[in-house]
Amino acid sequence: MQDKQDTSPTTTDSPVLSRAAGWLVLALALALLVLVPAATFWGVRAGALQGLRDEGLAAAQSRAMTLESILDRQRAVVAILSDDAIVKATLRGAQPGGNLVSAKLERLRAATQSSVLYLLDGRGRTVAASNWNQPDSFVGHNYSFRDYFRLARPTAMEFALGTVSREPGLYLSHDVRVGAALLGVVVVKVEFDTLEAAWARSPNATHVTDANGRVIITTDAELRFRTAPPAAPDSLPIALPVRGTGWTLAMHVPTREVRQTAAYAAGSAGLATLLLMALANQARRARLRAALKARADRAYRVELEHAVAERTRDLSDEIRERQLAQQRLSQMQSDLVQANKLATMGQITAGVAHEINQPLATIRLLAENGQAMAPGGPASDNLARISRMTDRIGQITDQLRDFARKATGEIGPVSLRPVIEASMLLTASLRKASDMPVHLPEIPEGLAVTGERVRVEQILVNLLTNASEAQEGRADAWIRIGVQADADRVTLTVSDNGPGLSPQVRDQLFAPFATSKAQGLGLGLVISRDIAREFGGELSADDPVPGQGATFRLVLRRSA
């Protein structure tokens, strides 16, 4: 081999450049020592804050749901009591005294974990209370000055100090009426000591404010009835609305551990950077000593290393190209599998549509041909009915697809006529055996209500199903749907001529899990009423009349 000229640098080449390179390396090292820990600190802090925010949001949602559950339970209590026959009889004076109602309220208070339940007459005087046999009984006290009495149309709520107990709590009320006449008001007081104690065991400070920003439920009793304080600089504020109240639940999550975690990570990154720099410097010195020791054969080694490096680059490029080709192949295989799946799904869908539509079309064609061949008579009528039934099957499949779609949750104008027609079509099979007729009024084309179509259909399907099942086996069964619209409300009535509602069933009609059906869950009417109230309306049942069927009233806001 021909000798190669030694072109390796020496330690004496360009001392000015060597010193400049040394200063540049030192500057880069110092920059790394500053930038790496700083970047690590802020990166870890951002990730930890996001995790803390997610955990805090989950905790806040759990607390809000717990509070909403308590409020929903107590609202249900006063709503049920407002329709109670004994309560109404007591307010009308048909019961001798209120001890019977007081005893009932006492039992309900223990079952529902409320603080106190009491009944006010039309002038605001307490006629019955769950604490009727206690020294601090509310019986005889007048609360006509309270907002929960004055504003109960039909419900009201007020958070205040008790005039007798001096304990803070939430008062929920519901008026008791017969027609438009006000008989009195049912009130339940809820105290949140247990809830506040449970929240206080967490390091996350939590308080609930009303619509005016006043603290009403809090883990710090000193803040109650004051304006909510701002979040501390070392805490993460999280706020959620409390459904159906106008309240806001605020939780302040301490971030001290986040800073500590970020600081520890930054310190570790700084130490790791320093260690790597030390190792790099040691390696550089080792290479320098090796270069000085092997200066004689430097040229050969440089050339050999250059050749090896080029070959290594070539091999690396080849390996990289092979890996990219393998990745492209895998992606193409995955895309092909997905395309095959989609193609198969399309074929199945087209086949199902064909298998449904073609027999229907054939049946209709045969029915029409048969009708043309044998006009008049029973056979012709039956063939005409078969033709109409094929059209109806097509309509049913379309309506079932619409009914099965997921509700969007967006509330807006809902045209009333298509909703009623779809609900009747979806429940037609229940009425088919007894040929039960449904009487419909004239519905204006542009009449619309405020809601969401799928859930309005859900309410009507539930009411029509109940009416059909209540008259199962009756030869003279019928269902009547009524529509009455005024300036801002639309009232739909669903009536039947079945056995009607017994007083026992009427009292527990909207109570969860209370049902007279052998296979029922007792949730259909409860869910339907909740949907109606979410739309700003109401679902109720008329008082039972002997010898008449049941009548349900669905009141919804009219949409312009």
Give the pair of three-digit tokens for residue 512: 């969860």
Alpha carbon distance 460, 483 (integer Å):
13
Question: How many structural domains are present in the chain?
Answer: 3
Alpha carbon distance 403, 420 (integer Å):
12
Give the pair of three-digit tokens for residue 78: 């006063």
- pLDDT tens per residue, the chain (560 residues)? 444 444 444 444 556 666 777 788 778 878 877 888 788 878 877 887 788 888 888 988 998 899 889 889 988 998 999 888 888 888 888 665 568 888 888 898 888 888 899 999 989 999 999 888 888 888 889 999 999 999 888 999 899 888 887 889 899 999 999 888 889 999 999 988 888 888 988 888 898 988 888 998 988 888 888 888 888 788 888 999 999 888 999 998 888 777 778 777 878 877 888 888 788 878 888 888 888 888 877 888 898 888 888 888 888 888 988 888 887 666 555 544 444 443 444 345 444 544 565 576 667 667 777 777 777 677 777 777 676 666 656 555 554 554 445 455 678 899 999 899 888 888 887 777 677 888 888 888 889 999 998 889 989 999 988 888 888 877 788 899 999 999 899 999 999 988 888 877 777 888 777 666 655 566 788 888 999 999 999 999 888 887 788 899 999 999 87
Orientation of helix 256-293 relative to helix 15-82, angle to 10°: 160
* Together in a domain, 53 and 132: no
* Together in a domain, 61 and 94: no
Alpha carbon distance 535, 195 (integer Å):
30
SS3 call for 546: coil
Please classify residue 55 by burial: count the beta carbons closer than 10 Å to its beta carbon, then call 0-12 exposed, 13-18 middle and 19+ buried.
middle
Q: What are phi and psi of 152, to 5 degrees?
A: -75, 85
> Could you tell me the CATH number of the domain that includes residue 521?
3.30.565.10
* Together in a domain, 243 and 105: no
Q: What are phi and psi of 234, to 5 degrees?
A: -100, 30
Distance of CA 490 to the CA centre of its chain: 27
* Last residue in a domain, options 148, 174, 191: 191
> Could you tell me the CATH number of the domain that includes residue 70?
3.30.450
| pLDDT score recorded for residue 12 | 45
* Together in a domain, 78 and 101: no
* Last residue in a domain, options 137, 163, 191: 191
Is 440 part of any domain? Answer: yes
Is 122 part of any domain? Answer: yes
Is 286 part of any domain? Answer: yes
* Together in a domain, 515 and 470: yes
* Together in a domain, 426 and 527: yes
DSSP class per residue in 448-503: EEEE-HHHHHHHHHHHHHHHHHHTTT-TT--EEEEEEE-SSEEEEEEEE-SS---H
* Together in a domain, 68 and 95: no
Is 48 part of any domain? Answer: yes
* Together in a domain, 78 and 172: no
Is 541 part of any domain? Answer: yes
For residue 514, the enclosing domain spans: 405-557
* Together in a domain, 217 and 96: no
β partners of residue 125: 142
Alpha carbon distance 516, 512 (integer Å):
12
Question: Which residues lie below 8 Å from residue 450, measured CB to CB, with a gap of 6+?
Answer: 411, 412, 413, 414, 535, 536, 556, 557, 558, 559
Give the pair of three-digit tokens for residue 84: 């109670």
Is 346 part of any domain? Answer: no
DSSP class per residue in 152-183: -SSEEEEEEE-TTT--EEEEEEEEEEETTEEE
Alpha carbon distance 326, 517 (integer Å):
63
* Together in a domain, 535 and 433: yes
Helix (H) or strand (E) holding 402: helix 377-404
Is 313 part of any domain? Answer: no
Alpha carbon distance 543, 134 (integer Å):
35
